[in-house]
């Protein structure tokens, strides 16, 4: 009887205990399978939220683990954006079989391959892994996720093909695979396989910035409900599919920077809801498309195609919603229709490199948002532009030669930059500055650790970056939708980047305290990764890439003691990492040295190229030289489209130069010796050997060579901005005095390196302005070592050899005595310096620049040093400076008749450095001295990452002072 009572009492006791512990516990105890899955995820991470190892929150579902949400003991949501997870994603993720939301975005330390077991999460509806470091291919098992509505894998390092099984995700609303390294074609269904043409509910196809190829024929159909198609920056070919015209919901169509060919299908005019149409930089032919029915169009770019010549189409003056019209190289003729400029919304017009002629009329009422009109390199003869006083570029038009043209400033490319918006901190002037990584919170002028990142708008409907109202709306939408305090957001560095995306640096500040809590980070991160946050409509599609949140970096657990340990661990890792780097550098140096010794030993006995040229099929005998790749002929042929004319960028000493893109995306310039004129075998070998040994930021690097099938080719890094000569010719005014000093300094450094640091020293022998190339940042790079000569070939510091070089640059002493020394390069460099001063070629109309300058110099002429008549008009104002005089004097010392009296290249470098230093501190004032000094210090310091760009103009303007180094346009060397 007693025993029975006890047995009955036990369960009651248990219930009472559970009730005492709180009701939720009874319902939220984590299912053991899910708990073990979470623990094994955690085991592969070296950094995770501190709550995941807290002693008081041992049960994940008990509300204790940040980012975990459960229903009936099953994990339904795992959201861990921006918490600095490091490690890989365990296969056991597949055990969380009730998972609906998975967001691990903005954990740059999270990578490895994506486990195929994700395909067993049959309830998953949202999968977001933006801005992590995942590699390998996208598992085809994703096709099993029938519930998936949102799939964002953008900004990782996924490679391989897009699995056709993604076509089975028929509930998908959002598909973003952008900014990865995906290859192959877009899967299109066949009788036996699915394809993305099945995705009729999907609104977003974001595949931009990959290496996808093939044709899109068959991908689109009128059952689709797409609103954004972003396929830009890939390698697609074939026609633009006519079926696109059936998707009338479309708002943004970006197919730019691909290889699309043929005519634009006429039914594209059915896309009456389109806001942005960008077809630039393809191979499109036929006539310009008729866009007159697309009355909502804001942004149109059709430039850099091969359209047939035509007059400006009617829609230039009828599309009243246009904000930006850009057609570079569009073969447009006749007059620019004056109605274009009175379009009510217009902000930017870029019609450079066309053949517009006659009169340019910008009259009548011009709206004040119109900020940029670029008509460079047209045939405009006269201009009436009185109604417009913002940026107008007419360089390269006959009107610039009219003596009394009323807007001479339009004939200079350098016009005042418009300053892009940034959040004002002026009311916080009393907050001196914040320590470490904290920033001033505009909401209260206090300091805090902001959550920062870049918001990238892939197709905004506007180009005007100066309009405060536009960006203040963005600020307000951020604070309200993300539940932040009023004003707790700061926008800066607003600019169009090289992909033509609008990029905005965003800082969000915590509402209280100086840091965000982990749950707040996860909440905000998810709002931005899952597109819950919506910017004002005119900003168009966006993505956000958060920076690691500083206060969490390296801290793996809560508690001050633990975080100290982890700080120590971080320091330890840093030290170990540092040692590793040092060890690696030492190893590389050692290996290089060993290799050089080996090479020297070989050179001593036999010519390493001895087998070359003896027979035609001996490419196998070509040595693999210090990092220079031996390219198969077929690879170079493929990447230049069989050496087509469109890839030709110039002709060098012994053949043509082509540009191409290697399979890995590297852009290269390929110098191909002409068939039948291979007399330069010696030069060829010479150049490979030299260039593969020589590495300096002011020297063009050799990437590899090809010696196969009777071909001789050299593969160099691609230098985007053409030769110094072309730049002086085409955009003299853009090259102001300071830029010229920098170019002189860069090339002098390259030469000084060859003379003084290369081992053995190298004499260039053909220094001239067409052998100095300029990159995106106008950094000078000395090219063409085909005639170089090793100084070790001689005993006495000069080399007796056949005279080579280029008329006008040739050292007279060398010419007469045939005794070559480094000083011959110094002479040629002096001539280049005089070119920088005069803008002229060394010999023009039978006059030799060295002689002309020597005769003209007049020390008593305070203004021009006697050189007024010889000066490049573009720098006339700089001639009054002391630096100018010093520069001319230095040039004259370089071209001294006697080699012994010329300075060494190293000395030239030092003098120009000093001039530039004066120029910067004198002319610019103290404020910018720091940054500028940094730039001319080289080391790539001032140069921001700015990939080579084929586009002629950077859209809009750039709000920071680095814009000076972004050329306004690109010269295509020809």
Ligand X SMILES: *[C@@H]1O[C@H](CO)[C@@H](O)[C@H](O)[C@H]1NC(C)=O
Residue 334 in the binding site for ligand X (CB under 6 A): yes
Per DSSP, which regions of 72-117 are E strands? 74-79, 86-88, 101-103, 110-113
Residue 282 in the binding site for ligand X (CB under 6 A): no
Query: Smallest distance, Å, CB 599 to ligand X?
Result: 60
Residue 466 in the binding site for ligand X (CB under 6 A): no
Residue 565 in the binding site for ligand X (CB under 6 A): no
The pair phi, psi for residue 99, each rounded to 5°, is -65, 130
What's the first-to-final CA gap in the chain, in angstroms?
107
Nearest to 151 by CA among 132, 178, 172: 172
Residue 419 in the binding site for ligand X (CB under 6 A): no
d(CA 187, CA 845): 62
Task: Tell me whether residue 287 or residue 934 sits nearer to ligand X (CB atom).
Answer: 287
Residue 333 in the binding site for ligand X (CB under 6 A): yes
Catalytic position from the list 766, 775, 776, 825: 766
d(CA 242, CA 264): 8
Residue 358 in the binding site for ligand X (CB under 6 A): yes
Task: Tell me whether residue 389 or residue 709 sits nearer to ligand X (CB atom).
Answer: 389
Query: Smallest distance, Å, CB 456 to ligand X?
Result: 17
Query: Smallest distance, Å, CB 252 to ligand X?
Result: 16
Task: Tell me whether residue 333 or residue 570 sits nearer to ligand X (CB atom).
Answer: 333
Pick the binder of ligand X from 532, 624, 800, 901 (CB under 6 A). 532
With contacts defined by CB under 6 A, name the span among 20-28, 530-538, 625-633, 705-713 that binds ligand X.
Answer: 530-538
Number of residues that bind ligand X (CB under 6 A): 10
Query: Smallest distance, Å, CB 488 to ligand X?
Result: 23
Where is the binding site, in residues? 671
Using DSSP, state whether 531 is helix, strand or coil: coil
Residue 389 in the binding site for ligand X (CB under 6 A): yes
- Contact 383/405 with Cβ under 8 angstroms? yes
Task: Tell me whether residue 150 or residue 539 sits nearer to ligand X (CB atom).
Answer: 150
With contacts defined by CB under 6 A, name the span among 269-277, 432-440, 470-478, 527-535 that binds ligand X.
Answer: 527-535
Pick the binder of ligand X from 48, 52, 150, 501 (CB under 6 A). 150
- Contact 282/260 with Cβ under 8 angstroms? yes
Chain centroid offset of residue 941 CA:
16
Query: Smallest distance, Å, CB 345 to ligand X?
Result: 17
With contacts defined by CB under 6 A, name the span among 212-220, 528-536, 695-703, 883-891 that binds ligand X.
Answer: 528-536
Task: Tell me whether residue 388 or residue 633 sits nearer to ligand X (CB atom).
Answer: 388
Which residues, 850 to 869, sit near ligand X by CB under 6 A?
Answer: none
Residue 112 in the binding site for ligand X (CB under 6 A): no
Nearest to 890 by CA among 845, 932, 827: 827
Residue 530 in the binding site for ligand X (CB under 6 A): yes
Query: Smallest distance, Å, CB 926 to ligand X?
Result: 27
Strands 843-844 and 847-848: antiparallel
Pick the binder of ligand X from 213, 235, 357, 497 (CB under 6 A). 357
Task: Tell me whether residue 384 or residue 844 sits nearer to ligand X (CB atom).
Answer: 384
With contacts defined by CB under 6 A, name the span among 529-537, 576-584, 624-632, 899-907 that binds ligand X.
Answer: 529-537
Count the neighbouring beta carbons within 10 Å of the beta carbon of residue 426: 6
Give Rg (Cα) of the chain. 32
861 is catalytic: no
Output DSSP code: residue 652.
E
Residue 468 in the binding site for ligand X (CB under 6 A): no
Query: Smallest distance, Å, CB 382 to ligand X?
Result: 9
Strand order in 489-496's β-sheet?
Answer: 489-496, 502-508, 451-457, 542-546
Which residues, 678 to 697, sit near ligand X by CB under 6 A?
Answer: none
d(CA 351, CA 375): 5
Where is the binding site for ATP, in residues? 671
Task: Tell me whether residue 398 or residue 653 sits nearer to ligand X (CB atom).
Answer: 398
Residue 531 in the binding site for ligand X (CB under 6 A): yes
Answer whether the bond into residue 361 is a cis peptide, omega within 30°.
no
Kindly state the helix (H) or strand (E) to which residue 493 belongs, with its residue range: strand 489-496
Task: Tell me whether residue 387 or residue 599 sits nearer to ligand X (CB atom).
Answer: 387
Token pair, residue 397, equals 């038009």
d(CA 267, CA 291): 10
- Contact 354/379 with Cβ under 8 angstroms? no
State how far the alpha carbon of 683 is from the alpha carbons of 602, 693, 792, in Å.
20, 15, 17
Q: Point out which residues pair with 655 in neighbouring strands.
A: 652, 673
- Residue ranges of the alpha helices (H) in 716-821? 724-730, 737-752, 812-817
Binding mask 717-756 for ligand X (x = CB under 6 A): ----------------------------------------
Query: Smallest distance, Å, CB 474 to ligand X?
Result: 18
DSSP per position, 239-274: PPPGGGGG-TT--EEE--SS--EEEPPGGGGG-TT-
Please list the active-site residues.
Answer: 766
Chain residues binding ligand X by CB under 6 A are 150, 333-334, 357-358, 387, 389, 530-532
């Amino acid at each position: 009887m007693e025993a029975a009572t006890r047995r009955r009492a036990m369960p009651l006791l248990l219930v009472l205990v559970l009730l005492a512990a709180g009701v939720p516990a009874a319902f939220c105890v984590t299912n053991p399978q899910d708990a073990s899955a979470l623990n094994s995820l955690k085991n592969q991470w070296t950094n995770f939220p501190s709550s995941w190892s807290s002693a008081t929150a041992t049960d994940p579902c008990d509300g204790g683990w940040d980012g975990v949400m459960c229903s009936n003991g099953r994990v339904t949501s795992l959201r861990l954006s921006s918490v600095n997870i490091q490690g890989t994603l365990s296969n056991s993720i597949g055990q969380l079989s009730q998972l609906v939301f998975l967001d691990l975005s903005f954990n740059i330390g999270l990578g490895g391959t994506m486990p195929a077991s994700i395909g067993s999460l049959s309830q998953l509806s949202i999968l977001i892994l933006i801005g992590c470091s995942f590699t390998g291919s996208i598992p085809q098992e994703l096709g099993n996720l029938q519930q998936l509505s949102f799939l964002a894998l953008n900004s990782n390092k996924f490679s391989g093909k897009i699995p056709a099984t993604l076509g089975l995700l028929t509930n998908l609303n959002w598909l973003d695979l952008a900014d990865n390294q995906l290859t192959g074609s877009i899967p299109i269904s066949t009788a036996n396989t699915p394809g993305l043409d099945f995705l009729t509910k999907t609104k977003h196809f974001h595949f931009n910035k990959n290496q996808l190829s093939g044709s899109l024929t068959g991908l689109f159909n009128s059952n689709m409900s797409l609103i954004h198609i972003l396929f830009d920056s890939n390698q697609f070919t074939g026609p633009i599919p006519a079926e696109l015209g059936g998707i009338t919901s479309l708002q943004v169509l970006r197919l730019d920077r691909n290889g699309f060919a043929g005519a634009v299908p006429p039914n594209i005019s059915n896309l009456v809801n389109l806001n942005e149409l960008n077809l630039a930089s393809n191979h499109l032919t036929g006539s310009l498309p008729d866009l007159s029915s697309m009355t909502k169009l804001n942004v149109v770019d059709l430039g850099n195609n091969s359209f047939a010549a035509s007059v400006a189409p009617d829609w230039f003056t009828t599309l009243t919603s246009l904000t930006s019209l850009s057609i570079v190289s569009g073969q447009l003729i006749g007059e620019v229709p004056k109605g274009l400029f009175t379009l009510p919304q217009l902000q930017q017009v870029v019609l450079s490199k066309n053949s517009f002629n006659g009169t340019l009329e910008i009259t009548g009422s011009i709206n004040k948002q119109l900020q940029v009109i670029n008509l460079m390199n047209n045939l405009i003869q006269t201009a009436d532009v009185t109604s417009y006083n913002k940026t107008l570029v007419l360089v390269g038009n006959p009107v610039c030669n009219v003596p009394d043209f009323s807007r001479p400033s339009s004939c200079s490319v350098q016009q005042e930059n418009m300053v892009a918006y940034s959040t004002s901190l002026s009311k916080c002037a009393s907050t001196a500055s914040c320590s470490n990584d904290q920033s001033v919170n505009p909401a209260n002028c206090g300091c805090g650790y902001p959550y920062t990142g870049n918001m990238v708008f892939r197709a905004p409907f506007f180009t005007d970056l100066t309009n405060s109202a536009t960006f203040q709306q963005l600020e307000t939408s951020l604070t309200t939708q993300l539940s932040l305090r009023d004003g707790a957001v700061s926008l800066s560095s607003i600019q169009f980047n090289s992909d033509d995306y609008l990029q905005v640096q965003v800082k969000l500040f915590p509402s209280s305290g100086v840091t965000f809590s982990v749950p707040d980070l996860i909440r905000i991160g998810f709002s931005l990764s899952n597109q819950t946050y919506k910017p004002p409509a005119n900003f168009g599609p966006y993505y956000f890439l958060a920076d690691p949140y500083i206060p969490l970096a390296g801290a793996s657990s809560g508690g001050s003691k633990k975080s100290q340990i982890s700080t120590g661990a971080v320091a330890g890792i840093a030290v170990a990492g540092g040692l590793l780097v040092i060890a690696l550098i030492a190893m590389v140096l050692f290996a290089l040295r060993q290799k050089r010794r080996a090479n020297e030993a070989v050179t001593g006995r036999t010519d390493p190229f001895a087998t070359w040229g003896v027979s035609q099929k001996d490419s196998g005998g070509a040595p693999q030289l210090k990092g220079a790749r031996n390219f198969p002929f077929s690879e170079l042929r493929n990447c230049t489209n069989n050496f087509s004319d469109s890839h030709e960028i110039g002709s060098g000493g012994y053949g043509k130069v082509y540009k191409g893109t290697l399979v890995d995306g590297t852009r290269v310039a390929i110098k191909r010796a002409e068939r039948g004129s291979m007399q330069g075998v010696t030069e060829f070998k010479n150049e490979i050997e030299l260039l593969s040994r020589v590495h300096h930021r002011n020297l063009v690097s050799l990437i590899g060579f090809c010696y196969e099938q009777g071909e001789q080719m050299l593969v160099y890094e691609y230098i985007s901005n053409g030769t110094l000569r072309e730049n002086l010719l085409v955009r003299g005014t853009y090259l102001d005095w300071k830029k010229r000093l920098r170019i002189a300094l860069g090339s002098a450094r390259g030469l000084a390196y060859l003379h003084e640091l290369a081992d053995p020293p190298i004499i260039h022998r053909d220094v001239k302005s067409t052998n100095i190339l300029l990159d995106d940042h106008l950094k000078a790079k000395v090219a063409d070592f085909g005639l170089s000569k090793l100084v070790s070939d001689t005993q006495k510091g000069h080399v007796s050899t056949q005279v080579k070089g280029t008329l006008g640059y040739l050292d007279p002493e060398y010419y007469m005595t045939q005794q070559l020394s480094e000083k011959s390069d110094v002479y040629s460099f002096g001539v280049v310096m005089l070119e920088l001063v005069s803008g002229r070629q060394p010999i023009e109309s039978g006059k030799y620049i060295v002689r002309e300058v020597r005769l003209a110099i007049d020390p008593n002429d305070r203004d021009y040093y006697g050189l007024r008549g010889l000066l490049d008009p573009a720098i006339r104002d700089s001639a009054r400076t002391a630096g100018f005089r010093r520069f001319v004097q230095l040039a004259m010392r370089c071209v001294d008749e006697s080699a012994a009296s010329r300075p060494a290249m190293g000395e030239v470098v030092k003098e120009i450095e000093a001039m530039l230093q004066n120029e910067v501190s004198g002319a610019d004032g103290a404020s910018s001295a720091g940054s500028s000094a940094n730039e001319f210090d080289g080391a790539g310091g001032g140069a921001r990452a700015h990939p080579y760009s084929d586009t002629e103009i950077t859209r809009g303007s750039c709000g920071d002072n680095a814009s000076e180094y972004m050329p306004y346009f690109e010269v295509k060397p020809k």
